[in-house]
Amino acid sequence: MIKKILIANRGEIAVRIVRACAELGIRSVAVYSEADRHALHVKRADEAYTLGADPLAGYLSPQRLVSLAVETGCDALHPGYGFLSENPLLADLCDQHGIKFIGPSAEVIRRMGDKTEARRSMIAAGVPCTPGTEGNLADLAEAISEAERIGYPIMLKATSGGGGRGIRRCNSREELEQAYPRVISEATKAFGSAEVFLEKCIVNPKHIEAQILADSFGNTVHLYERDCSIQRRNQKLIEIAPSPQLTPEQRAYIGELSVRAAKAVGYENAGTVEFLLTGDEVYFMEMNTRVQVEHTITEEITGIDIVREQIRIASGLPLSVKQDDIRHQGFALQFRINAEDPKNNFFPSFGKITRYYAPGGPGVRTDTAIYTGYVIPPHYDSMCLKLIVWAMTWEEALARGLRALDDMRLHGVKTTTAYYQEILRNPEFRTGEFNTSFVENHPELLEYSEKRSPDQLALAIATAIAAYAGL
């Protein structure tokens, strides 16, 4: 069994991994930039080491992270999500220095990180893919020619993209001509690669993803699906498990496709296969070779600790469950509580948290790294916490979500909390029938009231008095 893990990440996912280590009796090592010196993952880990003054350089240096793992006596490294989690160089360096990388092999990361190579692999395995280009585009002229062959609208995508970046919908040749240099520039800056390709745009699909686990003994299972259709500009806001929109036949088919996709590339550890669903047609979109932000809701409906399974797999142990043993029960929703102002085009709202109270009660979970007095730095993602609710029925889950969002108190920065409450009250959302155009089609949900409750007003007055008095 692994004895000591360096967590090559920050924020709530680092705290989540620390908790899994504690339950398994494994020592955890945190890393931090000076901007994160007072972060919760630093306080919770068994050991913590600085990466220097630069807020990003250390988190993005495979050499520095692996060297630190060796220096501190770690026998494994967990990359979390974001940063270097899908960088094959980090996995390669871990292997070269005898450090177990808690994730798939570098070869698989490369193969699935290249979107055109991933498409070829899925087509060869019989997994349906959207019509698109067979390889990367040479130039704008080829992009125009291929778009005319595929038919508008099309999606122009960065080959190495992810997280909703490096992607544009083009409804005409004119839009493609405008988007092409922008996507090239964004892809180069974000992913270090100017390669792009085209796919047919599936208009207003449902975004469905399946969680898989695979060990080194040839066992691969799926943990059912998550519905990620509530998103803005390709960024997920609310995730649901299982999808309230699937029939049992669709659920079984998507689960089977996800296992087939994982086996086709020799996948090992935890991963997610993402699909677009339109009518009865299912299309492979991409495979994420890491733990997902929204893994929490899958844990809630199945009772399986995904991070724990990741560590067990990396330790050379078989999966603790077989497919026939896996059941799902109830519904879970995850709300990404971002430090953003929805009324101001979701502009980031960084600063000091003057008061934070986590909601509780049956079926309520929060994954976070914030606390009262914590200053949210401007260098990283704006997500403050993940609020997760579970209940036996869809209607009960909606009611619990509204209650938990109302219970939570997070002052000092603007957040997306009230906006999510409006979504939960929306009749269309409550029917369980929605797609990726939901947010775009309901701008009226941004017209929520910002009236303060008496306790909020009292807190604001007290804060102002304390600031004036220099307390």
pLDDT tens sequence across 92-114: 999 999 999 999 999 999 999 99
Antiparallel, parallel or unpaired: β 383-391 and 331-338: antiparallel
- State how far the Cα of 195 lies from the Cα of 135, in Å rounded to an integer: 10
List C-alpha distances in Å: 381 to 52, 336, 338, 359. 19, 11, 9, 22
Nearest to 157 by CA among 276, 42, 330, 24: 276
Higher pLDDT, 471 or 197: 197
Q: What is the pLDDT of residues 47-91, one digit of tens each?
A: 999 999 999 999 999 999 999 999 999 999 999 999 999 999 999
pLDDT of residue 467: 55
Higher pLDDT, 402 or 466: 402
Distance of CA 58 to the CA centre of its chain: 21
> Over the chain, what is the mean pLDDT?
94
Residues 6+ apart with CB under 8 A from 170: 147, 152, 153, 154, 155, 156, 176, 179, 201
Q: Is 348 helix (H, G, I), strand (E, B) or coil?
A: strand
pLDDT of residue 424: 98
| pLDDT exceeds 90 at position 166 | no
Which of the four pLDDT bands, split at 50, 70 and 90, describes residue 301?
very high
pLDDT of residue 384: 96
Q: Is 161 helix (H, G, I), strand (E, B) or coil?
A: strand
Other Cβ atoms within 10 Å of 54 Cβ, number: 14
Torsion on CA atoms 215, 221, 222, 223, rounded to nearest 10:
-80
**Cis peptide leading into 242, omega within 30 of 0?**
yes
Kindly report the CA angle at 229 between 326 and 144, in degrees rounded to 5?
Answer: 120
pLDDT of residue 457: 57
- State how far the Cα of 348 lies from the Cα of 385, in Å rounded to an integer: 14
**Exposure b/e, 263-273, CB count within 10 A at least 16 = b:** eebebbbbbbb
pLDDT of residue 435: 97
**Residue 238 one-letter amino acid:** I
What's the pTM value of the predicted model, to 2 decimals?
A: 0.91
The percent of residues in the chain predicted with pLDDT above 90, rounded, is 89
List C-alpha distances in Å: 86 to 77, 80, 397. 13, 9, 33
pLDDT of residue 453: 57
Point out the residues that are catalytic.
290
Find out whether 79 and 14 touch, Cβ atoms under 8 Å. Answer: no
Mean pLDDT on 301-316? 98
Nearest to 76 by CA among 315, 290, 292, 309: 315
- State how far the Cα of 411 lies from the Cα of 217, in Å rounded to an integer: 49
pLDDT of residue 135: 86
pLDDT of residue 72: 98
Phi, then psi, of 154 in degrees rounded to 5 = -125, 165
Higher pLDDT, 451 or 11: 11
- State how far the Cα of 357 lies from the Cα of 360, in Å rounded to an integer: 9
Which tokens sit at 135? Answer: 């390889």
- State how far the Cα of 315 lies from the Cα of 178, in Å rounded to an integer: 49
**Exposure b/e, 165-183, CB count within 10 A at least 16 = b:** bbbbebeeeebbeebbeeb
Mean pLDDT on 27-37? 97
Which tokens sit at 152? Answer: 């508008």
Please report the domains of the chain, with CATH numbers, ordered by start residue: 4-102 (3.40.50.20), 131-200 (3.30.1490.20), 206-447 (3.30.470.20)
Residues 6+ apart with CB under 8 A from 458: none
pLDDT of residue 161: 72
Mean pLDDT on 446-457? 70
**Residue 328 one-letter amino acid:** H
pLDDT of residue 405: 98
Q: Is 210 helix (H, G, I), strand (E, B) or coil?
A: strand
**Residue 63 one-letter amino acid:** Q
Using a 10 angstrom Cβ sphere, with 0-12 exposed, 13-18 middle and 19 or more buried, the burial of residue 330 is middle
Alpha helices for 229-284 (secondary structure H): 248-264
Bridge-partner residues for 213, per DSSP?
Answer: 221, 270
Which of the four pLDDT bands, split at 50, 70 and 90, describes residue 322?
very high
pLDDT of residue 38: 95
- State how far the Cα of 246 lies from the Cα of 274, in Å rounded to an integer: 15
Q: What is the DSSP letter of 205?
A: -
Q: What is the pLDDT of residues 341-384, one digit of tens each?
A: 999 999 999 999 999 999 999 999 999 999 999 999 999 999 99
Which tokens sit at 173? Answer: 């040749």
Find out whether 402 and 387 touch, Cβ atoms under 8 Å. Answer: no
Other Cβ atoms within 10 Å of 315 Cβ, number: 17
Find out whether 49 and 37 touch, Cβ atoms under 8 Å. Answer: no
pLDDT of residue 465: 67
Which of the four pLDDT bands, split at 50, 70 and 90, describes residue 449?
confident
**Exposure b/e, 284-302, CB count within 10 A at least 16 = b:** bbbbbbbbbbbbbbbbbbb
